[in-house]
A and B are shown apart, each in its own frame.
Chain A
Amino acid sequence: MSPRIMVVEDDDLIRDSLVEVLEDQGYEVLSASNGRQAFELLQTAPLPALILLDLMMPVLDGRGFRELQQGDPRLAGIPVVVLTAYREIDTEGMSAAAMLRKPVALKTLLETVRRYCAAA
């Protein structure tokens, strides 16, 4: 069974691009357009091996999502890769597995994803 990845990103174009390139690589992809939607999806859907998380999103941002996730023993162990346009955003305390800056090169993205999904 191919590894499952969750993409949480509010921008449709970026989200669709991510989903497509990951699916092309044979991953099974779950997607959500904000932190709240992602958290709710995780209550019922099969758990992913990795979460790609945007930071600035409406309703519930990346940091808020990460807090909910870390507070849920069932979800806390899923590694998170943060995707952000801002270098300045402080990701300390979020204990992200990795941080990718937008715009991200496909090669970098796939290498990072492979690293955490291989480990899963």
Chain B
Amino acid sequence: MTQNLPQAQREASYQVMVESVRDYAIFMLDANGMVQTWNQGAERIKGYAPAEIIGQHMSRFYPPEDRKAGRPERLLRKAVEEGRVEDEGWRLRKDGSRFWADVVITALRNDDGSLRGFVKVTRDLSERRIAEERLRLSEERFRLMVESVKDYAIFMLDPDGKVATWNAGAERIHGFSPAEILGKHLSTFYEPEGVAAGYPKRELEVATRDGRFEDEGWRLRKDGSRFWASVVLTALYDPRGELLGFAKVTRDLTLRREAEDERIRLAQAEEAIRLRDDFLAVASHELKTPLTSLQLQIDTLSAGDERLGPKSKLRIERATRSVKRLVALVEALLDVSRISTGQLRLSFERIDLGQLAGEVVERLGYAAESAEAKVSLRVQPGVVGSWDRLRIDQVLSNLLTNAFKYAAGTEVRVDVRAAGDRAVVVVADRGPGVSEEAKQRVFERFERATSKRHYGGLGLGLYVAREIVEQHGGQIAVDDNPGGGARFTVTLPLASSPDAQAEHP
């Protein structure tokens, strides 16, 4: 458009245009380097008004060290020699502050070739520089941050899957130092079977295809040990869509994985216990059905046909005792399943403990006789409380049976008394006693103080006794009987428990 204008007009337009440019300082120097023109951009960037600077030498734009080094003159000389010179460096504003300038100086010649002067175009790069500096700093910070992360392995792979960067977390988790691993392939982290199955290759393929690959699985450390890794691989592309490589973030979840495994194992164990308890409940119930008719039949026999001879009577007597034993065993199994399923329920009633102890001792008279044990009972009268009659009967029976079993042929003393707000029952024998080590576990399930086979039984009596006593809010303990033997002490609260009151308002 300007081409069609007359020369003078064209120059005038250029002048207007140049003067109005604000982003560039555009001005002319004479052949000696004196400022001759000054546009708006020059005023804005350098801070001088035209009147202040026109006629001044261009060297004043340079910092003292550059002036001393003769840089302004060198640039002008170079522009003369080469027609044009480009420079980047610090320049001074009027107020003495510095800015980073991009400078182009072009030599202007007259028609005869003599030097007429220079055009100088200066751009203030400070803002760009600051932005670049910021970017550089931020990249540096980011790099430092990534490098210092210890909980995650964060590293890059090149497009072929070779390790390109390596942070502290990667070193910690994988065990390789940067020098050992840079340039090595991703498959280094896989177990040989995984490599054979093509997992590393697939990982890269999926990430390339979908932009991302996520996985949890066992990976190898440098020392060959395994760890449970959570892995995210992200494909990185440049703005043109070219694959730059992959960013890989790996976490070591071995502890979590182990906790999870442990939880599963525990759940399986609990399930096994539940199944066993269910089985115990069903099995003992099923056993009870034939036992019921067996007991009725045997009771009918022993109820006495007068025509039976003494031998038959003895046999029926033995059968009766066997049935009783069987019934007791089935009950014990059922009790274990009740206890472990929390179904041991008590029904409370007023009980005279001394009287109950007397009944139990009398009922077990036969067992005492066959164990050749001499039972003596000492009762403080009036020890009355609210307990489950059948269950307390069971506790006393179990303690006595236990004494007969382990302290056969000795004296067994049963003591019933009150002590403060508690009822106390002591069953003491003169047998071999219970060792310190066994005291800890005689009340556990399926435990016996001794493993000798000839004692027989399921090892449930004391366990069931403890559960019953504790459910009553009481305690059971074993210690040494002064003068030898074992001494079991049961304490029960005399006052009704809140539960008991609820059942018997």
Q: Which residues of A contact B (CB under 8 A)?
A: 11, 13-14, 16-18, 20-21, 24, 85-88, 102-107, 109
In the complex, chain B residues whose CB is within 8 Å of the CB of A105: 295, 299
Q: Report the Cα distance A20→B303, complex, angstroms.
A: 14
In the complex, chain B residues whose CB is within 8 Å of the CB of A17: 292-293, 296-297, 300
CB distance B289 to A21 under 8 Å?
Answer: no
Q: Report the Cα distance A16→B292, complex, angstroms.
A: 11
Q: Which residues of B contact A (CB under 8 A)?
A: 285, 288-297, 299-300, 303, 323, 327, 338, 343, 345
Closest 7 CB pairs of A and B: A106-B299, A13-B293, A17-B296, A103-B292, A103-B295, A102-B292, A85-B288
CB distance B288 to A103 under 8 Å?
Answer: yes
* CB closest residue in chain A, given B294: A103
Q: Report the Cα distance A85→B285, complex, angstroms.
A: 7
In the complex, chain B residues whose CB is within 8 Å of the CB of A103: 288, 291-292, 294-296, 323, 327
| Most chain A CB atoms below 10 A, which of B291, B296, B327 | B296
CB distance B300 to A24 under 8 Å?
Answer: yes
In the complex, chain A residues whose CB is within 8 Å of the CB of B291: 102-103
CB distance B299 to A14 under 8 Å?
Answer: no
| Most chain B CB atoms below 10 A, which of A20, A87, A103, A106 | A103
What's the least CB distance linking A117 to chain B, in Å? 18
Question: Could you list 21 A-B pairs, sorted by A, with CB under 8 Å?
Answer: A13-B290, A14-B292, A14-B296, A17-B293, A20-B300, A21-B296, A21-B299, A85-B288, A85-B289, A85-B292, A86-B285, A88-B338, A103-B292, A103-B294, A103-B295, A103-B296, A105-B299, A106-B295, A106-B296, A106-B300, A109-B296
What's the least CB distance linking B406 to chain A, in Å? 28
* CB closest residue in chain B, given A109: B296
In the complex, chain A residues whose CB is within 8 Å of the CB of B297: 17
Q: Report the Cα distance A16→B297, complex, angstroms.
A: 10
* CB closest residue in chain A, given B289: A11
CB distance A88 to B343 under 8 Å?
Answer: yes
What's the least CB distance linking B374 to chain A, in Å? 28
CB < 8 Å neighbour of B293 from A16, A24, A86: A16
What's the least CB distance linking A17 to chain B, in Å? 4
- Known contacts A105-B299, A106-B303; is A88 also within 8 Å of B293 by CB? no
In the complex, chain A residues whose CB is within 8 Å of the CB of B292: 11, 13-14, 17, 85, 102-104
| Most chain A CB atoms below 10 A, which of B295, B300, B327, B343 | B295
CB distance B300 to A104 under 8 Å?
Answer: no
What's the least CB distance linking A16 to chain B, in Å? 7
* CB closest residue in chain A, given B301: A106
In the complex, chain A residues whose CB is within 8 Å of the CB of B293: 11, 13-14, 16-17
* CB closest residue in chain A, given B334: A87
What's the least CB distance linking A52 to chain B, in Å? 12
Q: Report the Cα distance A103→B297, complex, angstroms.
A: 11
CB distance B296 to A104 under 8 Å?
Answer: yes
* CB closest residue in chain A, given B341: A88
CB < 8 Å neighbour of B289 from A88, A102, A104, A106: A102
What's the least CB distance linking B187 to chain A, in Å? 62
* CB closest residue in chain A, given B285: A85
What's the least CB distance linking B337 to chain A, in Å? 11
In the complex, chain A residues whose CB is within 8 Å of the CB of B290: 13
CB distance A14 to B285 under 8 Å?
Answer: no
- Known contacts A103-B294, A105-B295; is A14 also within 8 Å of B289 by CB? yes
Q: Report the Cα distance A102→B293, complex, angstroms.
A: 9
Q: Report the Cα distance A81→B296, complex, angstroms.
A: 17
* CB closest residue in chain B, given A88: B343
What's the least CB distance linking B57 to chain A, in Å? 112
Q: Report the Cα distance A104→B292, complex, angstroms.
A: 6
| Most chain A CB atoms below 10 A, which of B288, B290, B292 | B292
In the complex, chain B residues whose CB is within 8 Å of the CB of A16: 293
What's the least CB distance linking B346 to chain A, in Å? 11
Q: Report the Cα distance A117→B343, complex, angstroms.
A: 35
* CB closest residue in chain A, given B345: A88
| Most chain B CB atoms below 10 A, which of A102, A107, A109 | A102
In the complex, chain B residues whose CB is within 8 Å of the CB of A11: 289, 292-293
In the complex, chain A residues whose CB is within 8 Å of the CB of B300: 17, 20-21, 24, 106
Q: A11-B289, A109-B296 are in contact. List 16 more A-B contacts (CB 8 A).
A: A13-B290, A17-B296, A17-B300, A20-B300, A21-B299, A85-B288, A85-B289, A87-B338, A87-B345, A88-B343, A103-B292, A103-B295, A105-B299, A106-B296, A106-B300, A107-B303
